[in-house]
Structure 1
Amino acid sequence: MKSFATCVHDLMDAWITSREGAQATDIYQAVMGPTQPNVVLAVVDCRDSEIGTFSVDFIHRYSIATTAFDFLKLQWQEPLDLRSFLDQKYLRDSVIPALSRVMNGRRPSLSKGNTACGGCKIFYEMLLIPQKNAIQQCEWCILFSKIDLVLPAALQQFQADGIDLSILQLLTEGAFQKEIGARLKLSPRTIEHRIERLKERVGAKNLHHLVALWISVRV
């Protein structure tokens, strides 16, 4: 199974050696073998006059199980019309500017970062490859992305004092409630009450969810 870095290299080689006006299939065939389940390969149809009305065909879909947002179901719309995408703010702030830069510059772009989408925080690496076309507008753009992590977003900011912050920090380090109580010189019952109050405050379903929400507001 090819790594993301190897696939990026193969896609760039295919684009560099391709003729002007080549089709997207001529490029992405280079990575059509087995790939990691957290990788997305798609082709954006850029023939419309407005970027916001472009459509997306998924070639390889992200398949990591998640309940954080409905991305798995979204990928099976054929094609996906960007106008029907639920998080239009994400499109305006992240997707459309990136597509505009690649199409106007007519050069591939590799980026890494994180963004908010559908009430989640997504950490990713992304390669965008435009059609080679020196005169007319690009008809397509290949999107190849690796989603490293999807974190749920807290309903509200954590309101935490020094003890709560210590509890959250120790939880992220894998400490049990009894260990946390001993380190903070508090009873396990007090630690339990503190944790329950934090969960209620931010809408955490369980201890794992609380830790994930805590991490998501810190990164």
Structure 2
Amino acid sequence: MDSWISSQSGLGDPDDIYGPHRKLIRPNMALVVVDVRPTNPLDFRIDVIQGYRLPTGLTDVGALQQPHTFSDFPDTRYLQETMIPAYVGAMERQRPAMRRVATRVLDTVIGYDQIILPQKNSSRRSEWCIGLLDIHFLLPTASKDGSLDDVDLTILQLLAEGSSTKEIASASNLSYRTIEHRIDNLKSRFRARNIAHLAVLSVSAGLGGIVSKDP
């Protein structure tokens, strides 16, 4: 932000802003430059300067980090509701934009903080924007199960809090074996590989439809 504030109007190379700070970008962050010169936002081009580098088995992550125009982006809903308004707004105002987002992109639930820094250009519209994402979580998607009863919901809540099966049984006034059976049933319904995966999928099911912007 300090580099952007001190930058000159009409600066041609966005590297002059982000370049000195690349060593500070952590593996859970992504840095992109978006060419916003086209009048049609679908023709904006996004180049990934540094991608998300934490190990993950979510195959969508790699696909989302390839250079492409907005029209090539594989998730139309996310493009129209989240990406285009953010970059067009920053470009038109020529002011930094900061927001927090939790949403679904393809088959991944993602939560991140974002800052967008548009080129200052007093004589005409910005030609590029820098985007930095601080990604807090990437989760596999899961569907909400409306048939979950109160005991199921209690188990999922306490699992997410780190409770053991014994602790859940005590809090629910049910036997250890009953809770064990319930957990096995939930793992099957969520297609979870283990208890940790079950807790993650239950959280993901609740987050998948949420879009939160502009803190």
SS in 2 for 1:49: coil
Offset at residue 94 of structure 1 (A): 0.4
Question: Partner residue of 1:122?
Answer: 110
Question: Partner residue of 2:18?
Answer: 28
Q: Spell out, residue by residue over 1:85-119, the C-alpha distance to the aligned partner (whole angstroms, 9 max, x if none).
A: 22111111100011111111111111123122123
Matched-pair contact (CA < 8 Å) for 1:106–1:132: yes
SS in 1 for 2:52: coil
Distance, in Å, in 2 between the alignment partners of 1:185 and 1:27 is 59
Aligned partner of 1:61 among 26, 51, 61: 51
Q: Percent identity?
A: 40
Matched-pair contact (CA < 8 Å) for 2:118–2:129: yes
Question: Partner residue of 1:171?
Answer: 159
Aligned pairs, number? 206
Say if 1:163 and 1:156 are closer, same or farther in 2 by CA, change over 3 A: closer
Q: How does 1:70-219 map to 2 (within 5 A)?
A: 70-75=60-65, 77=66, 79-219=67-207
Q: Spell out, residue by residue over 1:168-205, the C-alpha distance to the aligned partner (whole angstroms, 9 max, x if none).
A: 12212323324433443433332222122222323333
Distance, in Å, in 2 between the alignment partners of 1:158 and 1:214 is 12
Question: Partner residue of 1:7?
Answer: none
Please, what is the CA RMSD of the aligned residues? 2.0
Gaps of 5+ in 2: 208-215
Aligned partner of 1:15 among 4, 7, 30: 4
SS in 2 for 1:215: helix
Matched-pair contact (CA < 8 Å) for 1:125–1:147: yes
Distance, in Å, in 2 between the alignment partners of 1:98 and 1:69 is 25
SS in 1 for 2:183: helix
Matched-pair contact (CA < 8 Å) for 2:60–2:108: no
Distance, in Å, in 2 between the alignment partners of 1:184 and 1:70 is 38
SS in 2 for 1:32: helix
Offset at residue 73 of structure 1 (A): 4.4
Matched-pair contact (CA < 8 Å) for 2:99–2:115: yes
Give the TM-score taking structure 1 as reference length.
Answer: 0.84
Say if 1:173 and 1:16 are closer, same or farther in 2 by CA, change over 3 A: closer
Give the TM-score taking structure 2 as reference length.
Answer: 0.86
Matched-pair contact (CA < 8 Å) for 1:63–1:72: no
Structure 1 counterpart of 2:49, which letter? I
Structure 2 counterpart of 1:206, which letter? N
